[in-house]
Amino acid sequence: MNIAAVDYDGLIPNNVALGQDERVKRALEKWHPGYINWWNDMGPEGFQESLVYLRTAVSVDPKGWAKFDYVRMPEYRWGVLLAPAHEGRTIHFGRHKGEPAWQDVPGEYRAMLRRLIVIQGDTEPASVEQQRHLGKTAPSLYDMRNLFQVNVEEGRHLWAMVYLLQKYFGTDGREEAEALLQRRSGDADTPRMLGAFNEKTPDWLSFFMFTFFTDRDGKMQLEALAQSGFDPLSRTCRFMLTEEAHHMFVGETGVTRVIQRTCEAMKEAGITDPNEIEKVRKLGVIDLPTIQKKANLHFSLTLDLFGNEISTNAANAFHAGIKGRYREDRLKDDHQLEGTTYPVLRLVDGKIQNVETPALSALNMRLRDDYVVDCNAGVGRWNKVIESFGIPFQIKLPNVAFHRHIGEFSSIKAGVDGNLLSDAEWAKRRNDYLPSDSDKDFIESLMQPQFEPNKFASWISAPKVGIDNKPGEFEYVKIA
Ligand code: BYC
């Protein structure tokens, strides 16, 4: 079978020979109506009849895997796609280093694997739920299309995890697959599993920040799972990463375009001081200090997704060869980490200090450190735009101790520079660091839909190039 080609004949497009796997095919076909019901209930509000110019994966060949066409979202061909197998792949870290990668779930690691797959799976529909109302206030058809592209692909990522559960985890896999359709982002009784996926994405600046910061956690976690000794998980994550790149593009360029528009408007109006917030807002654009506050919020919420500073779960998963480090295969060490240490920022005697910690227990922090480096590269590109206008302002990522709900720093209050604050000081400074109610009201007031081709809301500039190289006037969504 040609693994790069996808079989589109059945109900479920796939490159895993589902046609020859009656049991899993039946289980997925049984799950399918529940998924469609979930999409109709919790997917994008409105626009389900609209024709959206979407890409669909038709192959897993990195050189050309997608085709673009108009699709009604409920008719999108969600499918099961794995990156091609690497002949003779071995496990390259942990206690099984050098052994052949597993094609089946090793009994001793079944619970651990299932938990990781369920957590990963849970985030995918959660993000669609968080973003479901945004279509109505899209700043352009181009942006609306990008939102829906991200949404259908998160839906496909749910399919990816559900396939693993159905194929490899029997009855409890089927139950977990059902439960993934039952939990709801932000629901008091049946919330999604991780904190950031129960937060609201109230406006488009939040959407861009979410796709920049939170989808980037997705990238890091998928990169770590792509290293897995459980080969089907590795191959699934490798293909998901291909799609994920576009999501981060949407976030990074989205925020860039917001910054660009703000700087242009300031320049046209002759405003040089970025802190003249009211004057800048009168121009119908978002002032830079408020953009900074949104970045503070989404960065800190996303840091919580890396778990605790010291984690036995993470150590066990690495030791077992289930979850590696970021790009483990490119690292040059013994890939076992016994007896080595890693510096972790911790709270010692009321101070935030680096503490040498056994490297295996510190793996969440190692991944988080790699994440911060990746974020900083993107923030640097935002700052280049501000600098090109000569405006004296720089977006800065807050200290990792700022506004945390998981781990060491959840018990303290810290400012953006990592300075410890009393409760009273925090209460006084909170609105300097995070969006205040009036900031939120202002941003909400800007969220006016712009549904004419080649037109953009006041607060965001046009993209440099179109999707699939389409010209500016292209109608990315034919609204029904
Ligand atoms: N919220 O030992 P620890 C994405 C729990 S995003 C609530 O530090 P571990 C996407 C933890 O579960 C990527 N609970 O945990 C992005 C544990 O509870 P139990 C999603 C939390 O396992 C945008 C306990 O605290 N993928 O793809 O080392 C759009 C002890 O903690 C949280 C993954 O996350 C939290 N934030 O680390 C769409 C990969 N943090 O089990 C999609 C899979 C910790 O002892 N997940 N806890 O009761 C993992 O690798 C790990 O489970 C975590 C946590 C990194 C999440």
Q: How far is the CA of 438 from the centre of ligand 1 (A)?
A: 32
Of 284, 277, 122, give the one whose Cα is nearest residue 191.
122
pLDDT of residue 9: 81
Q: How far is the CA of 307 from the centre of ligand 1 (A)?
A: 5
Q: Which residues line ligand 1 (CB under 6 A)?
A: 116, 119-120, 123-124, 127, 154, 194-195, 214-215, 217-218, 221, 304-308, 311, 313-314, 323, 364, 406
Name the residue at shortest CA distance from atom 15 of ligand 1: 307
What are the residues whose beta carbons fall under 8 Å from the beta carbon of 17, sequence distance 6 or more? Answer: 1, 7
Q: How far is the CA of 195 from the centre of ligand 1 (A)?
A: 9
Pairing state of beta strands 420-421 and 413-414? antiparallel
Q: How far is the CA of 233 from the centre of ligand 1 (A)?
A: 17
Q: How far is the CA of 371 from the centre of ligand 1 (A)?
A: 15
Residue type, 213: F
Name the residue at shortest CA distance from atom 19 of ligand 1: 313
Residue ranges, the chain, pLDDT below 70: 1-4
Place of tokens 């409920």: 74
pLDDT of residue 2: 53
pLDDT of residue 61: 78
Name the residue at shortest CA distance from atom 47 of ligand 1: 307
Name the residue at shortest CA distance from atom 55 of ligand 1: 306
pLDDT of residue 4: 64
Name the residue at shortest CA distance from atom 23 of ligand 1: 215
pLDDT of residue 57: 83
